[in-house]
Amino acid sequence: MTRADLGSHFRDKRAIVTGAGSGIGASLSRALAAAGAEVVCADLDGAAAARVADPIGARAVTLDVTDADAVRELVDEVDPDLMFNNAGITFGAETEDLTLDQWNAIIDVNIRGVVHGVAAAYPRMVARRGTGVSGGQIVNTASMGGLMAAGLITSYVMTKHAVVGLSLALRSEAAAKGVGVTVVCPSAVDTPILDKGHVGRFHGRDYYLKGQGVRHPLDPDVFAAQVLDAVADDRAMLVTPRTARVAWRLGRFFPGFVQRSSIRFVAKQRRLQDRRARRTARAA
């Protein structure tokens, strides 16, 4: 879709993007603003949101997506045409090393944070359609981890599967009510999340890139452009890049093979962790 086509779809639309202070959220905010949308950049780190918002003429707000009242207040104020539930966190670890606090934290942000956005925005969009105005669209950021299961990121996989399920189920309801729902499922995107949430010897770039034979993660600006195309086309799901789509389809047709491959992948990751630990010990 050309920039002109995107402009005709997004121009003057009100959009809220959560997790807009960095990574995918920042790229989505810039792409939406370039397409003519009125963007609200929301992030727990208000200063980071402002650094994204100021150069593109957007508005920055400090928002904790785990606070349902705060999410609802922002949605009621903005009355968005587009609600991007994008904020997320990750933990990489052997599952037995995760604390209950870490489980609760990722559930609160990755699942409840999306639920809070949906619960606040979706009823307004349904009601708006009753006035003869286009209802709107909800866009939820999931992951390839929401379509396929991988060890050592079990808590993340759990939450992203929930986001995919919520999105596809809601879409089947929302279609008759004039509201679009799109879920986006990228593989590794070059964002700060690759270097966060490490527990024990887990190393995100080893896991998401080296371990999977990925030389270059997906550029977040390229991904944002793909998301806007998918939203403009009202697609149910975006799975990207092509290698991710191939892996996903393989998993659907040959689940046993993919499960065995996943077990081997985890073993390979542990070997990478062992080598990294030995190099660190020698350097100390």
- Are the CB atoms for 98 and 91 separated by under 8 Å? yes
Which among 147, 177, 170, 173 is positioned nearest to 247, based on CA atoms?
147
Q: Which residues are catalytic?
A: 156
pLDDT of 230 > 60? The answer is: yes
* pLDDT tens, position by position, 36-93: 999 999 999 999 999 999 999 999 999 999 999 999 999 999 999 999 999 999 999 9
CA–CA distance, 155 with 174 (Å, rounded to integer): 28
pTM attached to this predicted model: 0.92
Map out the domains of the chain with their CATH numbers.
3-283 (3.40.50.720)
- CB burial of residue 115 (10 Å; 0-12, 13-18, 19+): middle
pLDDT of 157 > 90? The answer is: yes
